[in-house]
């Protein structure tokens, strides 16, 4: 099986050297993701390497580690060639030595030697899989792993600013993501089941020899934000929300949302809300640029929402106060967007405070704002999503009304009449530039 | 999202009572599988519950546990209702109390209380995911989990004998598995890529709102036994091996292999090998029945193979000696089959010695035989696969020839001429009865 290495050895050498120069010292330990078992050890989910290991060393192989020495300025690969016994099961594989050369590493050791090469100051990232935690405990002789904030900051400073060759990979991923949406949308019609539309999306990914960047949200109940249930039959009058994306072989992602009318045309009541989401989207695109706090773009979009809902009659009162108190979150309980790259929520496992916020900007705890993954100033070279939405969540309406919450801003009488309207979201991916944002993956029609 | 519970509450009560009566005492702890992260904590593989928890308690929900008390004869469910905060993300869910009633449990506690309910003798199964290991260590205050052999034996004695209602679920899974194969085979032709055929299989599963029981092996290089690379273009003259299956909502599996000629017709050289595999298959079906050691069926099939290869001229010498020394494993390096049920390799994580062997029958360490997952006497109610194959593995041929291995049994000169012939396997699923085996999922055409 060919191991895909998207960039030149020099790219990986340069990336590791930049990391070394950003660290005060010590060793940086990048351990590979293990295989991930489904219901017994040998029944495996598709393998996905850790994104930071992909960034500094490309090799999509389990049971390896890269040790970058910020004191000595060197990099070592710990990995084992496939045994003859395994060749029967997995076929012949390229030698580890050859693969190491392709990422600019000449120092190769058996994985079992890794522990002997570790000194006292070992930096690692926060584990997001239990298997990583177990490996770290065993390697570092600790009861509990403790990640390095210095390393988080150093890696973030590199991975958050995309180079031209990364942007070119993301363009591919987003282009395919949009094509996948177009294919799904073509099949949306009354009487089709949600899972049959998922089947279209799945076939599209396999037909292009790529994978989903995440299991798609594909639902007639878009008001349930992370809905992975696909058992419903689509009926005329339904709204169908599809949030999905493609990951290309290099590991870079796309993340696109489209919302469509099952029967091809929204009702007047649905169209009114769709148009308002589209206006929020256009305003967010217009406001976003390097130097702008994304929190401010989010809040601007929230104001556009409140103004629009006031026009419709669903909200009332002072717009500024409504947004300040978080009343808009009744309809827009999530954030406007997030950074994207090798992870669809790029580096989310590092901790959102480090990735989306800063020392001078703490994440809010207010309902709605606490789900904004990115608040800090945008920088040239960031890749972000812009994904406003409006949702009618019956359980939330019921709860807030019974608590008398936001009654000076919400017209509950009208809202209860529209409580089954569902959810609408529009999402595209953008490169942040000095003067604005540039849509990735080319233009694509909105439903 | 509806939680699927395939059987009546009484079925689960009966299963747990049987387990209780099979245990000498203590508590049986069944912990749910956690969600499984891909490249950051919130990007999740499709959720799959642990099969033993499904068997005794059906609920496909993470972060729960069932505690079966073999001293007191009671069962408790530890689980939490979804919070209002989560309802926004996941939608409304059926209450844990209602779900517990559907599996015949009335004692429900918050998950956080679990540790307080554990006494000194807690039986659990071997973990196959790192997250299970971490949970067990935390719950039991241990540095390392230690599973209960008594529990393995008790669970195996139940799960290995399928009831009528289980067989009916397996019939569904195998029927769908065969239909998926038929759909893929329809599309096999020169110039199609392996991944485009995977796309057909993926669409089939989603279209039926089910999932694969394992990521399919679909390859023109069937000689690589667990080949999950799908990047090749199929050419005229290629042999295409597809090993895949469907898992239905209840968790029960199918596992079918078909091997086809890319251009519709095998060459004479390929047909000769295909016919021999088919003969091995028919002989294995004929030999299998309750009371028969599956090891003996495997060895009988190996003899059929050697006789056939001697006719072709690829092998020579005494058949009995060739099989005794393991020379057939050059062509047939894996086992004839395995038990199947809620796992496609049923209960494999318990340890093959317990599931496929017995106190009086130890697993062999010989190349080939060491990959036979099931050796012991078949019992009425077992569900097994029968899956003979013949493979031409260039790396293995090279290695064995250079070592002078099996030179009294192998005609290396002819073998080297055929070294690129590839791999052929035929696999079906069977219920073991007193007098023989019964094919599951109905008849289906062989390519």
Listed by number, the residues of chain A in 196-215 with a beta carbon closer than 8 Å to a beta carbon of chain B are: 196, 198-200, 202-207, 209, 214-215
Give all strands of the β-sheet with A256-261 in edge-to-edge order. A217-219, A239-244, A256-261
Q: Which of A2, A193, A225 sits opposite B89 (nearest CB)?
A: A225
B46 in contact with chain A, both atoms CB, cutoff 8 A: yes
Answer for the pair B170, B340: CB distance below 8 angstroms, yes or no: yes
Do A133 and A207 touch, CB atoms closer than 8 A? no
Same domain for B260 and B390? yes
Output the 3-class SS for chain A. Answer: CCCCCCCCHHHHHHHHHHHHHHCCCCEEEEECCCCCECCCCCCECCCCCCHHHHHHHCCCCCCCEEEEECCCCEEEEECCCCCHHHHHHHCCCCCHHHHHHHCCCCEEECHHHHHHHCCCCEECCCCCCHHHHHHHHHHHCCCCCCCCHHHHHHHHHHHCCCCHHHHHHHHHHHHHHHHHHHHHHHHCCCCCEHHHHHHHHHHHHHHCCCEECCCCEEECCCCCCCCCCCCCECCCCCEEEEEECEECCCCCECCEEEEEECCCCCCHHHHHHHHHHHHHHHHHHHHCCCCCEHHHHHHHHHHHHHHHHHHHCCECCCHHHHHHHCHHHHCCCCCCCCECCCCCCCCHHHCHHHHHCECCECCCCCCCHHHCCCCCECCCCCEEEECCEEECCHHHHHHHHHCCCCCCCECHHHHHHCCCCCEEECEEEEEECCCCEEECCCCCCCC
- A196 to B207: CB separation less than 8 angstroms, yes or no: yes
Contact A42 B348 (CB under 8 A): yes
Q: Nearest by CB to A39, which of B48, B207, B333? A: B48
Establish if A1 touches chain B: CB-CB under 8 angstroms: yes
Beta bridge partners of B233: B193
Contact status of A112 with chain B (Cβ, < 8 Å): no
> Could you report the per-residue pLDDT of B273-331, keeping only the tens digit for each?
999 999 999 999 999 999 999 999 999 999 999 999 999 999 999 999 999 999 999 99
Test B128 with A41 for CB contact under 8 angstroms: yes
Q: Which of B12, B172, B170, B171 has its CA nearest to residue B102? A: B12
Residue B413's contacts (CB-CB under 8 Å, 6 or more residues apart) are none
- Tell me which residues of chain B, numbers 77 to 96, contact chain A at a CB-CB cutoff of 8 Å: 84, 87-92
pLDDT value of position B85: 74
Specify whether B278 is located in the same domain as B238.
Answer: yes
User: In this predicted structure, what is the pLDDT of residue A447?
Assistant: 58
- Asked, for residue A183, whether it belongs to a domain, the answer is yes
pLDDT confidence tier of residue B226, bands split at 50, 70 and 90: confident
Q: Tokens at residue A234, please?
A: 């689509």
Which residues in A lie closer than 8 A to residue B88 (C-beta atoms)?
224-225, 333, 393, 395-396
Distance, C-alpha A360 to centroid of its chain:
24
Q: Name the CA dihedral angle for A142, A147, A151, A155, rounded to a multiple of 10 degrees.
A: 120
Give the pTM: 0.96
Query: Is there a single domain that holds both residue A89 and residue A226?
Result: no
Which of A48, A91, A226 is facing B90, going by the closest CB pair? A226
Q: Is B225 helix (H, G, I), strand (E, B) or coil?
A: coil
Does residue B335 sit within a domain? yes
Q: Is residue A95 located within the same domain as residue A217?
A: no
Domain residue limits at A132: 9-159
- Separation in Å, CA of A160 to nearest CA in chain B: 16
Count A/B contacts: CB-CB distance under 8 Å.
188
Phi, psi of B396 (to 5 degrees): -75, -40
pLDDT tier at B94 (50, 70, 90 boundaries)? very high
- Tell me the shortest Cα–Cα distance from B348 to chain A, in angstroms: 6
Secondary structure (3-state) at B441 = coil
Query: Of A106, A129, A159, which residue constitutes the final position of a domain?
Result: A159
Same domain, A308 and A183: yes
- Distant-in-sequence, close-in-space partners of A300: CB < 8 Å, separation ≥ 6: A283, A284, A287
Which residues does chain A have within 8 Å of residue B395's beta carbon, measured at their own beta carbons? 84, 87-88, 92
Cβ B36–A34 below 8 Å, yes or no?
Answer: no
Q: How far apart are CA A434 and CA A170, in angstroms?
A: 19
Interface contact B91-A214, CB threshold 8 A: no
The confidence score (pLDDT) of residue A1 equals: 57
How many structural domains compose chain A? 2
Please tell me whether residues B376 and B406 are part of one structural domain.
yes
B210 shares a domain with B116: no
Q: How far is CA A400 from CA A411, A412, B4, B193, in A?
A: 12, 10, 31, 54
Tell if the CB–CB gap between A229 and B343 is shorter than 8 Å.
no
- Reported as a single tens digit per residue, the pLDDT across B362-393 is 999 999 999 999 999 999 999 999 999 999 99
Distance CA B138, CA B125 (A): 16
Judged by a CB distance cut-off of 8 A, whether residue B60 touches chain A is no
Q: Which chain A positions have a beta carbon within 8 Å of B373's beta carbon?
A: none
Q: Which residue has the tokens 């801003």?
A: A409
Residue B1's pLDDT is 56
Please tell me the predicted confidence (pLDDT) of residue A89.
Answer: 80
User: In this predicted structure, what is the pLDDT of residue B443?
Assistant: 78
Q: pLDDT tens-digit profile of B140-160?
A: 999 999 999 999 999 999 999
- Chain B positions touching A231 (Cβ under 8 A) are 1-2, 209
pLDDT at B365: 94
Q: What is the CATH number of the domain that holds A185?
A: 3.90.230.10
- Asked whether residue B1 is domain-assigned, the answer is no
B226/B306 same-domain check: yes
C-alpha angle A39-A90-B49 in degrees, rounded to nearest 5: 5
Place of tokens 């329809």: B186
List the one residue out of B163, B131, B136 whose CA is nearest residue B29.
B136
| Residues in A touching B84 (Cβ below 8 Å) | 395-396, 399
Q: Which of B90, B203, B343 sits opposite A39 (nearest CB)?
A: B343
Q: Is residue B347 part of a domain?
A: yes
Bridge partners (DSSP) listed for residue B343: none
A264/A237 Cα distance (integer angstroms)? 9
Q: Is B413 helix (H, G, I), strand (E, B) or coil?
A: helix
Q: Is A447 among the domain residues?
A: no
What is the pLDDT at residue B13?
98
> Are residues A150 and A273 both part of a single domain?
no
Is B447 a residue whose pLDDT tops 80? no
Place of tokens 């191991």: A3
The sign of the CA dihedral A41, A42, A45, A48 is positive
Domain termination site, one of A159, A178, A209: A159
Residue A224 to residues A195, A217, B59, B91, Cα–Cα distance (Å)? 17, 10, 22, 5
State how far the Cα of B50 lies from the Cα of A128, in Å rounded to an integer: 21
Cβ-based contacts of A342 with chain B (< 8 Å): 39
Q: Which residue of A has its CA nearest to B1?
A: A229
Distance (Å) from the C-alpha of residue A225 to the closest C-alpha of chain B? 5
User: Do the domain assignments include residue A79?
Assistant: yes
Asked if ipTM goes beyond 0.85, one says: yes
Which secondary-structure segment (H or E) carries B385? strand B383-386
Please list every residue in chain A whose beta carbon sits closer than 8 Å to the beta carbon of residue B33: 39
Q: Which residue of A has its CA nearest to B214?
A: A43
Cβ pair A202:B203 closer than 8 A: yes
Cβ contact B213:B176 at 8 Å: no
Domain co-membership, B139 together with B34: yes
- Cα-based angle A306, A311, A314 (whole degrees, multiple of 5): 65
Mind spelling out the 3-state secondary structure of A66-105?
Answer: EEEECCCCEEEEECCCCCHHHHHHHCCCCCHHHHHHHCCC
CB contact under 8 A, A90 and B224: yes
Which of chain B's residues have a Cβ under 8 Å away from the Cβ of A204? 199
Please identify, among A112, A138, A159, the residue that sits at the C-terminal boundary of a domain: A159
Put simply, the answer to whether B129 touches A37 (Cβ < 8 Å) is: yes
Mean residue pLDDT of chain B comes to 96
Q: Are residues B220 and B153 in the same domain?
A: no
CA A174, A180, A186, A190 torsion-angle sign: negative
Residue of B nearest to A32 (CA): B39
Number of Cβ atoms within 10 Å of the Cβ of B362: 10
CATH of the domain at A35: 3.40.350.10
Cβ separation of B84 and A395 shorter than 8 Å? yes
**Sequence-ordered alpha helix ranges (H) in B107-193:** 114-117, 130-140, 149-159, 164-187
**A-chain residues within 8 Å CB-CB of B43?**
214, 343-345
pLDDT tens sequence across B316-367: 999 999 999 999 999 999 999 999 999 999 999 999 899 999 999 999 999 9
3-class SS of residue B439: strand
Burial B244-277 (b: 16+ CB within 10 A, else e): bbbbbbbbbbbbbbbbbbbeeebeeebebbbebb
Flag if B43 and A225 touch (Cβ within 8 Å): no
Residues of A in contact with B343 (CB under 8 A): 39-40, 43
B272 shares contact with chain A (CB less than 8 Å):
no
- Per-residue pLDDT tens listing for chain A (447 residues): 578 999 999 999 999 999 999 999 999 999 999 999 999 999 999 999 999 999 999 999 999 999 999 999 999 999 999 887 777 788 888 999 999 999 999 999 999 999 999 999 999 999 999 999 999 999 999 999 999 999 999 999 999 999 999 999 999 999 999 999 999 999 999 999 999 999 999 999 999 999 999 999 999 999 988 878 899 999 999 999 999 999 999 999 999 999 999 999 999 999 999 999 999 999 999 999 999 999 999 999 999 999 999 999 999 999 999 999 999 999 999 999 999 999 999 999 999 899 999 999 999 999 999 999 999 999 999 999 999 999 999 999 999 999 999 999 999 999 999 999 999 999 999 999 999 999 999 877 665
Per-residue tokens: A109: 């050791």
Query: Is the Cβ pair A88, B229 closer than 8 Å?
Result: no
Share of chain B above pLDDT 70, in %: 99
Chain B contacts of A48, Cβ < 8 Å? 38-39
- Min CA distance, B268 vs chain A (Å)? 26
Query: Taking CB atoms and an 8 Å cutoff, what residues of chain B touch A34?
Result: 130
Asked if the Cβ–Cβ distance from A207 to B215 is below 8 Å, we say no
* Residue A4 sits at the chain B interface (C-beta within 8 Å): no
Within a domain: A203:
yes
* B444 assigned to some structural domain: no
Q: Mark whether A151 and A188 lie in a shared domain.
A: no
């Amino acid at each position: 099986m060919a191991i895909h290495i998207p960039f030149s050895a020099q790219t990986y050498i340069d990336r590791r050297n930049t990391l070394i120069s950003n660290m005060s010292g010590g060793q940086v330990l990048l351990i590979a993701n293990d295989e991930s078992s489904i219901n017994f050890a040998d029944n495996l989910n598709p393998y996905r390497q850790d994104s930071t290991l992909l960034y500094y060393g490309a090799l999509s192989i389990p049971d390896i580690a890269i040790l970058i020495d910020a004191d000595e300025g060197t990099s070592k690969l710990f990995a084992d060639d496939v045994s003859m016994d395994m060749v029967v099961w997995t076929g012949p594989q390229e030698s580890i030595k050859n693969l190491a050369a392709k990422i600019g590493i000449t120092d190769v050791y058996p994985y079992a030697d890794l522990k002997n090469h570790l000194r006292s100051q070992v930096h690692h990232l926060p584990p997001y899989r239990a298997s990583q935690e177990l490996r770290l405990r065993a390697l570092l002789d600790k009861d509990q792993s403790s990640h390095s904030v210095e390393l988080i900051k150093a890696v973030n400073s590199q991975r958050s600013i995309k180079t031209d060759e990364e942007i070119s990979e993301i363009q591919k991923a987003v282009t395919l993501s949009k094509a996948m949406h177009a294919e799904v949308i073509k099949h949306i019609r009354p009487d089709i089941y949600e899972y049959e539309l998922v089947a279209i999306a799945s076939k599209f990914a396999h037909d292009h020899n790529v994978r989903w960047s995440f299991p798609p949200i594909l639902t007639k109940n878009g008001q349930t934000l992370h809905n992975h249930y696909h058992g419903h039959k689509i009926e005329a009058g339904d709204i169908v929300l599809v949030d999905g994306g493609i990951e290309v072989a290099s590991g870079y992602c796309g993340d696109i949302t489209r919302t469509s009318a099952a029967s091809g045309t929204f009702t007047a009541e649905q169209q009114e809300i769709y148009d308002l989401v589209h206006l929020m989207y256009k305003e967010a695109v217009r406001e976003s640029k390097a130097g702008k706090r994304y929190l401010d773009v989010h809040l601007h979009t929230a104001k556009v929402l409140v103004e629009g809902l006031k026009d419709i009659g669903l909200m009332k009162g002072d717009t500024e106060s409504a947004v300040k108190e978080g009343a808009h979150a009744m309809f827009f309980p999530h954030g406007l967007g997030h950074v994207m790259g090798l992870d669809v929520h790029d580096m989310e496992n590092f901790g959102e405070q480090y990735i989306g916020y800063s020392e001078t900007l703490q994440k809010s705890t207010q309902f709605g704002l606490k789900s904004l993954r990115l608040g800090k100033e945008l920088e040239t070279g960031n890749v972000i999503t812009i994904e406003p939405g409006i949702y009618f969540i019956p359980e939330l309406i019921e709860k807030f009304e019974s608590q008398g919450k936001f009654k000076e801003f919400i017209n509950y009488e009208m809202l209860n009449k529209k409580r089954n309207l569902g959810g609408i979201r529009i999402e595209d991916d953008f490169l942040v530039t000095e003067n604005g944002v540039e849509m990735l993956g080319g233009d694509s029609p909105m439903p």
